[in-house]
Amino acid sequence: MPRLFALAVIFASLALSSARSDDGYRLWLRYDRIENETYRTQAAPALGRIVLATPSGAESPTVAAARDELTTALGNLLGATPVITLEKLPAASSAVARSSDAFSVSSPSSFTPHSSPLTISASSDLGILYGTFALLRHLQTGQPLENLSLTSYPKIQHRLLNHWDDLNGHVERGYAGSSLWEWFYLPEIRNPRYHDYARACASLGLNGTVLTNVNANAQILTAPYLAKVAALAGEFRPYGIRVYLTARFSAPIEIGGLKTADPLDPAVAAWWKTKVAEIYRAIPDFGGFLVKANSEGQPGPQDYKRTHADGANLLADAVAPHGGIIMWRAFVYSPDNNDDRVKQAVTEFAPLDGKFRDNVIVQIKNGPLDFMPREPFSPLFGAMPKTRLAAELQITQEYLGQSTQLAFLAPMWREFLDADTFANGPGTTIASLIDGSTKRQQPSVIAGVANTGTDRNWTGHLLAQANWYAFGRLTWDHSLTSEQIADEWTKMTFGHDASVVSTITKLLLGSRETVVNYSMPLGLTHIMAEGHHYGPGPWVDKLGRADWTSVYYHRAAATGLGFNRTATGSNALAQYSPAIAQRYGSLTDCPENLLLWFHHVAWDHRLRSGRTLWDELCLRYQQGVDEVRAMRRDWDSLKGRIDDERFTHIQQRLTRQELDAIEWRDACLLYFQTFSKRPFPAGIEPPAHPLSHYISQKRRHMPGDPSGK
């Protein structure tokens, strides 16, 4: 081969491979040039002149952030350089008056040099930033730019990520590398990633971040760490992301030199007031504290025979003069209570209704147990009418395949947000309880346990970025459908090729139900391996507490399978409104996807399909495996249509997901067969190994495992 030609081939292939590689770092804010030339040429003049209208009409770091985002994005997407000007918003502009975060984007019906410019108006600088990201999303998803009238405001006031990050960099239940927060290097050395984190969060409308693990370390409240927190707060401030910390209840003893942390002790109250004042001197817009107390070994007010309300109010009084809030978690189950674990939060918290200060929000996990692939909503949402309640969702996939498996969680969150509690009559959805509209109570809060880490693509599994995206979008607008969110995210992340968009959205939308099918179908729950929680472990029967085992939850026996939570069992159903208790308490009316959550069902009981429970269970597990195989085939059809790096990254994970799904199916069916004593129905692939093989599998050094084993 002539030398010049050979060089040309090498350069050409280098160019091709770099054009076809993408590590996912840019998330949904990629801003690659829009491929549709017609759209691009129409969009460029529409976005040639942009007016940012705010009450002051003055420049600020937040307005500068909006301007920078527009300049970079439009330069890359369109090859355009917009002229961006700042104006004073005319007084009483009602479109943006609903919330200080509201914005309005308007444009004329056609774009000529004489038509009025596209305008982003807001009653705060932050609203301008949110409007900017909304406009860019509009463009990235290929929508028309004429006659725009996008007005939006968030339904929930505080939209937070909760990071379960330890100060040593380990992330509890984190599957994407280490913590983003480099405590040793702060405050002097600030990773540029902090800025990108804030941009990504703000692009979704998130406005707060709890930096530290709920299994808290009091060191974060010491002066050297507060200086580091202040540095992070400074990085995030232009993007409207306020910082919050977890408060270890015993901090007055551990770092304050007191002998007690009793919430009713005046010295303890004085210590917290002084500490909080110190925090606000360093971080004037500090958001407040998130607290896990008297739960899983964390200290709390009950150590002093005080109540959760006493503990929460102590901290609430300390932050109130500064405008702070306390998010007090209701994830509790007492070592002294042998009642059904899923009842315990209501038992402990409902009697405290009305006893919390106005700046306390009781933060409740979506389900009464613990972020399982499917749970009913927690009855606590309907049991505290006089208390502000927040929802805590888990974005990190502790129980849904972590960062190895695909599980798009928007459908799960929709199911939860749309659930009717009947608390205030029919139509009292969870969404209406947490956004404050039912009770007319503010502040309103929603929190998601983050799935971010130092992996280059932020979330370990590239498609898990969609869960960060979905959570953020739902915090702003909890009426968005899963389909809308999946469509937006896919277009912004993978472009507009119709087969790419339809294949990826289909994969995303079916994936959570697929994970349910091959791991915990028909309302089965908490049958995963112990400790790291990855893979099957229905045989787990001996741990520190009965309600940490699997056998506690599935109750497999010769008589059947499932936990009887009706009046003849634990009667957990009595914690729901009568309408729900009645429906779910009936073996025939209970939704089948929660059947074994609420009922102990005979193996030969016939389900709606006409099949027995045993046969249906087997077929659901098989269906889960078949669905993963279909996902793999669908993904493989995209070869050459997206860059090789992302294609291979996802292909490898789907390959692994099939193996994991097979393991779940075989392990669970062989195990449950020891009770059902029935053969597998036709269509079930025979397991490759005996049950003993699956039981002997021990995974070690798993990411995110707090035990570190």
Q: Which residues bind ligand GCV (CB under 6 A)?
A: 164, 172-173, 214-215, 292, 296, 331, 370, 706
- CB of residue 291 to ligand GCV, shortest distance in Å: 11
Q: Please say whether the beta carbons of 56 and 21 come within 8 A.
A: no
Contacts of 15 (CB under 8 A, 6+ apart): none
- CB of residue 701 to ligand GCV, shortest distance in Å: 17
Grouping H, G, I as helix, E, B as strand and the rest as coil, residue 78 is helix
- CB of residue 292 to ligand GCV, shortest distance in Å: 5
When the beta carbons of 472 and 704 are compared against ligand GCV, the nearer one is 704
- CB of residue 626 to ligand GCV, shortest distance in Å: 30
- CB of residue 331 to ligand GCV, shortest distance in Å: 5
Catalytic site residue 627?
A: no
Q: Please say whether the beta carbons of 434 and 156 come within 8 A.
A: yes
When the beta carbons of 296 and 645 are compared against ligand GCV, the nearer one is 296
Comparing CA positions, the residue from 322, 336, 327, 490 lying closest to residue 408 is 490
Phi, psi of 270 (to 5 degrees): -65, -40
When the beta carbons of 292 and 308 are compared against ligand GCV, the nearer one is 292
Beta bridge partners of residue 446, listed in sequence order: 159, 391
- CB of residue 548 to ligand GCV, shortest distance in Å: 9
Catalytic site residue 663?
A: no
Compute the half-sphere exposure of residue 180: CA atoms within 13 Å on the CB side of its CA: 27
Look up tokens 């929603």; give the residue: 446
Q: Please say whether the beta carbons of 50 and 120 come within 8 A.
A: yes
Comparing CA positions, the residue from 134, 168, 129, 170 lying closest to residue 151 is 134
Reduce the secondary structure of 180-195 to three states and give it as a string: CCCCCCCCCCCCCHHH
- CB of residue 59 to ligand GCV, shortest distance in Å: 42
When the beta carbons of 67 and 292 are compared against ligand GCV, the nearer one is 292
Q: Are strands 208-210 and 158-162 parallel, antiparallel or unpaired?
A: parallel
What single DSSP character describes residue 343? G
Among the listed residues 265, 296, 339, 353, the single catalytic one is 296
Alpha carbon of residue 115 to chain centroid: 42
Q: Both tokens of residue 141?
A: 């998803």
Q: What angle do CA 197, 199, 204 make, to 5 degrees?
A: 100
Q: How far apart are CA 23 and CA 527, in angstroms?
A: 34
Look up tokens 């929190």; give the residue: 447
- CB of residue 164 to ligand GCV, shortest distance in Å: 5
Look up tokens 């017609």; give the residue: 38
When the beta carbons of 115 and 215 are compared against ligand GCV, the nearer one is 215
Question: In sequence order, what E strands does 66-134 have?
Answer: 83-88, 103-106, 118-122
- CB of residue 215 to ligand GCV, shortest distance in Å: 5
When the beta carbons of 42 and 215 are compared against ligand GCV, the nearer one is 215
When the beta carbons of 292 and 599 are compared against ligand GCV, the nearer one is 292
When the beta carbons of 118 and 216 are compared against ligand GCV, the nearer one is 216
- CB of residue 173 to ligand GCV, shortest distance in Å: 5
What single DSSP character describes residue 455? S
Look up tokens 């009697």; give the residue: 351
Among the listed residues 101, 235, 310, 370, the single catalytic one is 370
Question: In sequence order, what E strands does 141-295 have?
Answer: 149-152, 158-162, 208-210, 242-246, 288-291
Q: Are strands 118-122 and 103-106 parallel, antiparallel or unpaired?
A: antiparallel
- CB of residue 327 to ligand GCV, shortest distance in Å: 13
Q: How far apart are CA 97 and CA 134, in angstroms?
A: 18
Q: What angle do CA 151, 154, 157 make, to 5 degrees?
A: 150
When the beta carbons of 122 and 216 are compared against ligand GCV, the nearer one is 216
The helix (H) or strand (E) run that includes residue 134 is: helix 125-140
Q: How far apart are CA 378 and CA 389, in angstroms?
A: 12
Phi, psi of 85 (to 5 degrees): -120, 155
Among the listed residues 125, 172, 310, 398, the single catalytic one is 398
Q: Please say whether the beta carbons of 653 and 404 come within 8 A.
A: yes
> Between the CA atoms of 263, 266, 271 and 274, what dihedral angle is there, to the nearest 10 degrees?
120
When the beta carbons of 181 and 239 are compared against ligand GCV, the nearer one is 181
Q: How far apart are CA 288 and CA 596, in angstroms?
A: 40
Compute the half-sphere exposure of residue 323: CA atoms within 13 Å on the CB side of its CA: 8
Phi, psi of 561 (to 5 degrees): -140, 145
Catalytic site residue 296?
A: yes
- CB of residue 708 to ligand GCV, shortest distance in Å: 12
Q: How far apart are CA 385 and CA 379, in angstroms?
A: 12
When the beta carbons of 296 and 477 are compared against ligand GCV, the nearer one is 296
When the beta carbons of 369 and 417 are compared against ligand GCV, the nearer one is 369
In the β-sheet with 149-152, what is the strand arrangement from edge to edge?
A: 83-88, 49-54, 118-122, 103-106, 149-152
Residues forming the active site: 296, 370, 398
